[in-house]
Amino acid sequence: MRLSLRSTTRAVKTLSALLLYAIVFSNVLVTGATAAVVTLVDQESNFTDLTRRAHEGRISDRPELDASVQRLIAVLSSVEARQPVLVSDSGQELGLIVEQTALRQASAKAESRVVRVEVNNLFSSSTGALEAAASFAEILEEDASATIFVDQIPTIFELPGVAEIIEAFIHNGGKIIGGSSPAAYASAVSQNKNFERLFQALEFANSTETATDEKHGFRGDNVSSDIRAAIASGRSGRLEAILQTSNHSDPAFRSLLNQLDIRVTETIGTNGLLVVNAPLSSIEQLSVSGRISYISPNRATNATGHVEVTTGATLARAGAMTGGSGAGIGIAIVDSGIDLAHNGFRKADGSSRITASVDFTSNGTADRYGHGTHVAGLAAGSLDKNNGAYRGVAPEANLVSVKVLDDEGFGQTAWLLNGLDWILQNREQQNIRIVNLSLGTTAIDTWTNDPLCRKVRELTEAGIVVFAAAGNLGRGENGEKVYGAIHSPGNSPHAITIGATNSFGTDNRGDDVVTTYTSRGPTRSSY
């Protein structure tokens, strides 16, 4: 019987049809008028046409990757039935190799196009595995002769019906380029014989150049995908945005901003981080000017939940951990402020352990929302009432209150960036060794471009440990699991990201599981 991609995907699509209808209908109900300042809520595309980007001049030539690109092209051109999986610990390197392959083929005027599946977007825009599988099938069905790059191929391969969909696609002349870490590839081969039958490994060592780019450079488009979506939809109006550039003091750059009617409302730190108000119609000219690194919306931020015997807090309170009182260490609580008069933050002599309190919201330093005080108590409370039930993990540590959420628990990216930059500038004076971020915003950009993730990286490179919340978006309105919803900056590899667990009422850690509501991966990396 001849394999058919269309017939193979029909069952997957049918099972998800009612769910898709419900989602579309819900979106119609909540659609409202466009505000004067554009609100960006569109979903990003589940795929990127790399060949088109190459023709548009949006992929830069990387000659140092020529050898790797030639290896890949040789496998794609061979009669070998098994498809290549690029294996490396550097996902950035794999993406660059495929981009360069698309660039070479575009230059050679090859007829087939190279398409990258945005795996994280696909998961985060789907309400479950069936819908994700249906979306993946639609991408393959759109162009049966395309070369499809699927990073995290082992994850995609586990979706219902996808193994059959991929086999039908290959049988009908399409090509798949997979991407995987060595551990994930080895696991997929050992657990799934179909995976081993369809794919072969192409291993790549991380180049020094790429490792440097991944750590410090921007990647992909210099305009965030939600701004691109707003432009494509024909919206007008002005946009509050975070602009990153290395030319912020250059008179020519300032002149360009003036010509495009882009107003700089704030400068954060000294590394070219600007808060701007810009016409949406000016973004494309700004993008192609060669003078910006990245522009993204000044997105809303908000408090998130947080996760006590299984975490070790009880042992800390009981004194079972020696040398862990936090004495002399500064912990920055970046939140809604801290109640400065609270008795739980005092030393034995009655003096306060809150050594600094700053506000970036224009609401004053007081914590009228209460979230920041609660978080500070978990970290460093010292109240001995109820046998120490109100003591934190480090009851002798100093606290630094950095208020970036207003009196209703809401904030914006610019406030949070200002708060993190203040910590960077005052870390030695306050001996800040730990930063707690029980807050976040929707992760749209890859961590290499996201301004919050880049600021977190600056803090960790200065020797500060950053804890960030995963978020509470792991479950949809109907109780279904939601994937790809880790908050920014929790999606940064430089942060220690904390989710919530269910202990089932026991002190035994062995029965703990991830709660249904906590955000889960894969982390977002739209670029």
State the pLDDT at residue 431: 97
Q: What integer pLDDT is reported at residue 524 of this predicted model?
A: 58
Give residue 18's pLDDT. Answer: 28
Question: Mean pLDDT highest for which of 5-9, 77-81, 409-413?
Answer: 409-413
> What's at 392, amino acid-wise?
G
* Cα distance between residue 178 and residue 200, in whole Å: 9
| pLDDT tens track for 149-171 | 998 898 888 888 999 999 999 98
Rounded mean pLDDT, 257-282: 94
What would the 3-class secondary structure string for 374-434 be? HHHHHHHCEECHHHHCEECCCCCCEEEEEECCCCCCEEEHHHHHHHHHHHHHHHHHHCEEE
Q: Please give the Cα distance from 285 to 36 (Å, whole number).
A: 21
Predicted pLDDT at 461: 94
What would the mean pLDDT of 131-156 be, rounded to a whole number?
Answer: 88
Residues shown for the chain: 527
Q: Which part of the chain is CATH 3.30.70.80?
A: 225-298
Mean pLDDT throughout 400-416? Answer: 96
Residue 196 has pLDDT above 70, yes or no: yes
Q: Is the pLDDT at 12 greater than 60, yes or no?
A: no
Dihedral sign, Cα of residue 238, residue 241, residue 243, residue 248? positive
> Taking Cα atoms as reference points, which of 351, 337, 472 lies closest to residue 408?
337
Amino acid letter, 197: R
Instruction: Name every residue whose Cβ is closer than 8 Å to that of residue 157 and which is 6 or more positions away in sequence.
Output: 163, 166, 188, 192, 195
Residue 484 is predicted with a pLDDT of 61
Q: Within a 10 A sphere around the Cβ of 395, how many other Cβ atoms?
A: 24
- The pLDDT score that the predictor gives to residue 225 is 85
Tell me, what's the pLDDT at 217?
A: 77
CATH classification code of 225-298: 3.30.70.80
pLDDT of 389: 62
* Helix or strand run (H / E) with residue 194: helix 193-198
Q: What is the pLDDT of residues 427-456, one digit of tens each?
A: 999 999 999 999 988 888 888 899 999 999
* pLDDT, position 526: 53
How does pLDDT run across 14-68, given as a tens digit for each residue?
333 323 333 233 333 333 333 345 544 333 467 888 999 888 888 888 888 888 8
Angle, CA 366 vertex, CA 468 and CA 419 arms, to 5°: 40
Give the pLDDT mean for 409-423.
96
493: three-class secondary structure by DSSP? coil
pLDDT band at residue 513 under the 50/70/90 scheme: confident
Strands of the 114-117 sheet, one edge to the other: 47-49, 114-117, 147-150, 175-180, 83-87, 199-203
**What is the rounded average pLDDT of the residues 340-352?**
92
Please state, in angstroms and rounded to a whole number, the distance separating the CA atoms of residues 104 and 268.
Answer: 40
CATH 3.40.50.300 in the chain, residue ranges: 5-35+45-216
Specify the DSSP class assigned to residue 519.
Answer: -
Name, of 11-25, 373-387, 433-447, 464-478, the range with top average pLDDT: 433-447
Domain 5-35+45-216 fold is: Rossmann fold (3.40.50)
pLDDT of 339 > 60? The answer is yes
Tell me the pairing of strands 410-412 and 330-335: unpaired
**pTM metric for this prediction:** 0.62
Q: What is the pLDDT of residue 429?
A: 96
Mean pLDDT (the chain) is 81
**Fold held by 302-514:** Rossmann fold (3.40.50)
**H/E run at residue 239:** strand 238-244
CA distances from 302 to 225, 363, 411, 469, 471 (A): 21, 15, 6, 11, 10
Gap between the Cα atoms of 132 and 403, Å rounded = 39
Question: For 270-316, how does the pLDDT look when each residue is reduced to its tens digit (9 = 90+)?
Answer: 888 999 999 999 999 898 888 899 999 999 988 765 444 434 444 44
Residues of the chain with CATH 3.40.50.200: 302-514
151/466: higher pLDDT:
466
Task: Look at 5-19, 273-287, 340-354 and tell me which has the smallest mean pLDDT.
Answer: 5-19
pLDDT above 70 (res 6): no
User: Mapping DSSP to helix (H, G, I), strand (E, B) and coil, where does residue 128 land?
Assistant: coil
Give the pLDDT of residue 265.
96
* pLDDT on residue 325: 85
Which helix (H) or strand (E) covers residue 14, if one does?
Answer: helix 5-30
Cα–Cα distance measured from residue 519 to residue 496, given in angstroms and rounded to the nearest whole number = 14
Q: What does the pLDDT read at residue 24?
A: 31
CB-CB neighbours of 243 under 10 Å: 22
Mean pLDDT of the 363-388 span: 86
Within 10 angstroms of residue 434's Cβ, the number of other Cβ atoms is 20
- Position 22 scores a pLDDT of 30
C-alpha span between 118 and 124 (Å, rounded): 10
Sign of the CA dihedral running 159, 161, 163, 168:
negative
Quick one: pLDDT at residue 305?
53
Which pLDDT score is estimated for 294? 93
Confidence at residue 447, expressed as pLDDT on a 0 to 100 scale:
87
Q: Give the residue-averaged pLDDT of 171-177.
A: 91
Residue with tokens 């934190």: 392
Cα–Cα distance between 51 and 109 in angstroms, integer?
A: 10
Task: State how far the Cα of 376 lies from the Cα of 150, in Å rounded to an integer.
Answer: 42
Angle CA 483–445–240, to nearest 5: 120
Q: What is the pLDDT of residue 102?
A: 93
Out of 54-63, 188-197, 216-225, 366-375, pick the least confident: 216-225
* Structure confidence at residue 320 (pLDDT): 42
Helices (H), 86-192: 91-107, 119-124, 129-142, 153-157, 162-171, 182-191
